[in-house]
Structure 1
């Protein structure tokens, strides 16, 4: 019984390490998102850190329109980044979970 527990604890520690490595790797995964007319482009990491914004000169003349574009485009980029990060972390967690009866939430 204790051997199984020690094995499970080791597996959990290994999984935790893989999760941390995956989180760090997500800093290098870049997501590009654009407005529908490509006047605004945002680059964000899978950890939801903005790394770049490109604004067409046409948007600089209308502050309200620029703000709307920023909100919409950044929110789309964040949604994509969140989806990528969650799926990557879920895959690592599923792979590393020990087979504990009754705990099959990742299957």
Structure 2
């Protein structure tokens, strides 16, 4: 009984370590998004940190239009990055979970 419990605890600790390593790796995974006309481009990490932003000069003439572009493109990029992040972390967590009867 206690051997099983200790084994599960060890597996959980190992999984936690893999999750932390995956989070660090996701800082190096880049997600690109751009407006449909290519006037605004953004690159985020899979941990949703903005790495670069490219704005065409024509957008600088209209603050409202620039704001609209930023909102649309950033939201799409954040959604993509979140999907990558959640998929990667879920795979690591699922793979590392001990087989506990009644949990799944």
Tell me the TM-score normalized by structure 2: 0.99
Local SS of the residue matching 1:59: helix
Instruction: Quote the residue 2:39 is aligned against.
Output: 39
1:90 aligns with 2:90: yes
**Unpaired runs of at least 5, structure 1:** none
**Unpaired runs of at least 5, structure 2:** none
Tell me the TM-score normalized by structure 1: 0.96
Q: How far apart, CA to CA, are the structure 2 residues paired with 1:19 and 1:100?
A: 19
Shift of 1:102: 1.0
Instruction: Quote the residue 2:73 is aligned against.
Output: 73
Q: How far apart, CA to CA, are the structure 2 residues paired with 1:75 and 1:25?
A: 22
RMSD value, Cα: 0.4
Local SS of the residue matching 1:32: strand
